[in-house]
């Protein structure tokens, strides 16, 4: 078995206008780094399928899903909020971004792959039950978790989010569902301004002040995530893998580096091995400095590969 690399050409066609930071070049930088380093040859390359309306509605309000299909433009852009737009290719990309995580869940549950990395756009963790925001349309990890609960009858799924922004959409969807534990680290106060005070027994916030170092990040994660996960004993882990907490990222103010992403990936793999039979699916979220994003994603996936060998 190996690490599945799940992506699709449609992800390069979704764009939200000139100079928008969430742009196709982000994903192209990852592709180029994986090619340059030889990493791509070690991965099982899978084409992301389309998530159905029914699969999307397992995590989202059905009327909201219908509204996104209705909003898809034939030309130009349709704006869902000031930061989030659709072009004529976006609906397919958004369906396949969620479909990639569903595919990853199915592969690790069947034993076809130890783990999976979904190189997707648009990102998803700000999409709430009934609202698009923050570059996100469908909540990819939430759709994957809902699929795991329904299709695979799991009782405990953990979503681990180390993006620099709080995964408010994921929390909104699962705040009252004790079958899903969300552990989320994020700069606070910062966009979207949520998360620091809304935790409960299965929503585990780890807010970090601006300029927090990798060492401070590690100490905070050690104090919050691992005790909660040991108590929860997840049967599957899904990662919201945002790399915008990197020190080079232009949109935020944390100070992580590639070795911090290796560290947290290896620690998550330890938890997956202990409780979930190694089953882990990671989905790309943020990261807006192309080189730092590409290096960090490669470091993350290299750690996944070592566990899959």
Catalytic residue among 8, 14, 60, 126: 126
Long-range interactions of 59-65: CB distance < 8 A, separation 24+: 59/129, 59/138, 59/139, 59/142, 59/143, 59/145, 59/146, 59/173, 60/127, 60/129, 60/130, 60/138, 60/139, 60/142, 60/143, 60/173, 61/129, 61/130, 63/130, 64/129, 64/130, 64/131, 65/138
Residue 19 annotated in active site: no
- The residues carrying an active-site annotation are 126
């Amino acid at each position: 078995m190996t690490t599945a690399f799940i992506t699709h050409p449609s992800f390069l066609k979704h764009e939200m206008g000139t100079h928008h930071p969430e742009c196709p070049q982000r994903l192209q930088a990852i592709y180029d780094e994986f090619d340059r380093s030889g990493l791509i040859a070690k991965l099982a390359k899978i084409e992301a399928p389309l998530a159905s309306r029914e699969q999307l509605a397992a995590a989202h309000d059905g009327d909201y899903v219908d509204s996104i299909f209705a909003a898809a433009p034939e030309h130009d852009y349709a704006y869902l909020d000031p930061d989030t737009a659709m072009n004529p290719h976006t609906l397919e990309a958004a369906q396949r971004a969620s479909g990639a995580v569903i595919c990853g869940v199915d592969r690790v549950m069947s034993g076809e792959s130890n783990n999976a990395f979904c190189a997707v756009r648009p990102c998803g963790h700000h999409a709430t039950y009934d609202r698009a925001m923050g570059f996100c349309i469908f909540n990819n990890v939430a759709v994957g978790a809902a699929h795991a609960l329904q299709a695979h009858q799991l009782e405990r799924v953990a979503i681990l989010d180390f993006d620099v922004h709080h995964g408010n959409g994921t929390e909104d969807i699962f705040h009252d569902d004790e079958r899903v534990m969300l552990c989320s680290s994020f700069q606070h106060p910062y966009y979207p301004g949520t998360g620091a005070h809304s935790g409960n027994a299965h929503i585990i916030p780890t807010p970090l002040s601006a300029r927090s170092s990798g060492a401070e990040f590690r100490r905070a994660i050690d104090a919050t995530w691992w005790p909660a996960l040991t108590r929860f004993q997840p049967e599957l882990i899904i990662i919201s893998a945002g790399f915008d907490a990197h020190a080079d990222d232009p949109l935020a103010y944390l100070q992580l580096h590639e070795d911090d992403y290796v560290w947290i990936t290896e620690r998550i793999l330890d938890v997956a091995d202990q409780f979930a039979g190694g089953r882990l699916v990671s989905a790309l979220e943020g990261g807006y400095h192309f080189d730092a994003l590409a290096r960090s994603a490669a470091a993350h996936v290299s750690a996944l590969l070592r566990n899959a060998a």
